[in-house]
Structure formats: C-alpha cells, structure tokens
Structure 1
Amino acid sequence: MRHILQGFTMYVDGVDFGIDTEEVELPIPTPMTQEYRGGGQDLGATLPMAAIEALEITVKMAGHNVEVMKKMALAPGQTTRITFRGAVMREQDGGIAAHVCIVEGAINGGTRDRWQRGEKSGIEFVVNGVKYFRYEADTDVIHELQVWPPKRIVNGVNQLSEVNAALGYAS
C-alpha cells in the first residue's frame, strides 16, 4: 500500500520553520561496502562493512530567514538539533501516520537564490557532520544512529550491541 506525504514541517532547536521550508531531502542509512575478489574469483562481490556512510540532509527554504542563517558555519563541534515532522496518509485506511526525523548536526553552506525585485528567492543548505539520526514512523523506530557512544538500531534491533559489549561499552 502507498503512503503519501500530506505535509511536513521543520523545527530548528524547537522553533517551527515549516512555513519557510519548501523541500527536504532526508537520507536513508547506507552501509559502506567494499568489493571482494578472493583468489581466482572472477565475479566480484560487494560486501557490506561494519560502518554506515556519512549522512547529509539538504533543505530548501523560501526567503532569507536570519535565525536559520545564524546557525550556519558554527565552530567545529557545535551542532544544531533539527526535527522534521511529516503527516503521511495510509492509503489502506485513510489514517494519518506521523513520520518524525530527528537530526543533530552542523548546518553548513549551500546556495542562495539570485535576488530579483519582486521575485521569490531563498536559501538551500546542507546538514552534515551528523552525530545523531532517528527516523520514526507512527510509533516504530525505523533507524536510530549515533556516533558516540556507537548506536545502530534498525527496525528495533540494536545491531551494535554485541560489538559494544565486546568493547566494554554499555548498550
């Protein structure tokens, strides 16, 4: 069944900027891979490694909101918490499911639209240096990733629990 996005908003450090937010490109966590060819193996196999590729979010805003621009290019280590909330209609019953994505990272440069008198212009920026990522659909945690302490929960399963236990980290 299809799940159709009906609307969304964006909160930056708890302040709603949804009215200015036109587009958001959220990542899907992707395992890093490495090609393997054993001795004499003709066909290479791409194998997932024990890591996830760096995440990056792209946001397109209408207008030149200075409160968002003040969060750009902060000193290293300083992050901003951004929450994206979407209302997704379930086609099978017409109900609405809340989809929530929480990201902690650095808002960094992108582009500004060209200024033209009487024309709409805005900014586009990326959120990189992501230290925390959580995606929920209704009440299900689909992905929860954290840099430190290491965490990778996919569909409710902590995939790093045994690794963290072996290294002496609490789950």
Structure 2
Amino acid sequence: MLVDEADLELTAWAPTVGELLADSADFALVVLDLRLADGTSPKANVEALHDAGLEVLIFTGGENPYLVRSAARAGVLGVIRKSEPAAKVVEALRVAASGGHVMTTDWAAAIDADPDLPDVGLSPRQREVLALYASGEKVTRVARLTGLAEQTVNDYLNRIRRKYAEAGRPAPTKTDLYKRAVEDGWLPIPHYGE
C-alpha cells in the first residue's frame, strides 16, 4: 500500500510489541493489529507503546468489539479496518502520523455499544492483583508474587469487587472477575481451538 506514497515509509515490522520496542528503528506511528500471536491484550500493548512515547493506530479485521473497546480505552488515535480500500487506509495513516484522530463509524459503534466503557478506576496495584487472581492464581500465590500479605490481597480483591459493583458490573465470583479482566483488557481474550 505504501510503495507509491513518498511521504509514508514502513521503517520497522515485528510480530510482537516487545520485539518492536527492542528495534532501534525511528518511527512516528505504530500500526497495531488487535490480535498478536503472543496473546497479549490490546490495552497492554497500547500502554507499552505509549510508555515508549509512541502513538498507535489500530489496523484490524474488526471482528471483535471487545478488542476494539480495549484499545479505545487505552487511547489509540483510531481504528481502521483491513477491509477498507487502500486509499482510505493510506489517508488514515497520514492523519494518525500527524497526530490526528481517525474517527470511523466502526470505532464509534463499538464504543457507543459499550455501556460500561468508563474505567472503574483500578490502581496499577489493583490491576496487578486482579490479573494474577483472575488468571487462576490462589490468594497465597498472588501474595507471594506481589510481595503483599494475604490479607492485603483479600482487601484489594474486596475493593476491586466493590468498584465493579458500583460501576454496575458486579463480579462476586472469581469467574466474574476473570470476565471483567478480559473485558477491560487486563487479561488476553482466550483463543479457543487455535
């Protein structure tokens, strides 16, 4: 798509965000697929790229609105479908590369369809405890991994549950916490049959 575009150049490519960040290439914009082979979440990937000072445009098949919402929550410049005509993709790249937002009806529809889009306000430590516990770890293991006391981990879990309940997204069970963590991008969406 970029061969005939003198003002746009592909300077690096990588199968994961970690590998891209390890590359010393100089680039102004990262075009990110929502589904990476390493199973990382869009939100975590966007946050890692933002921490490196990079802006992000999502380039996706758009088949999963949860992934689109996860990326939107993390503050991407926009979402463009892979099925769009090349000219539209190139224009989106130009807008995003100059720091502009790429507003599409697909992106707006995914966000508008999510009544729970507002963040429940978990602190970084609460997100860490949630991700560990919801992924299957027991409280004792979460405590060991985080350096917290077991009672502190339980206190965090109670606060996390209360925040989700106050946001109208109750999570009384461990399974519910897992669902909320996936919805909010703190855990990757499972890939069944792959």
* TM-score scaled by length of structure 1: 0.24
Question: Normalized per residue, which structure has more helix?
Answer: 2
Larger radius of gyration: 1
Question: Normalized per residue, which structure has more strand?
Answer: 1
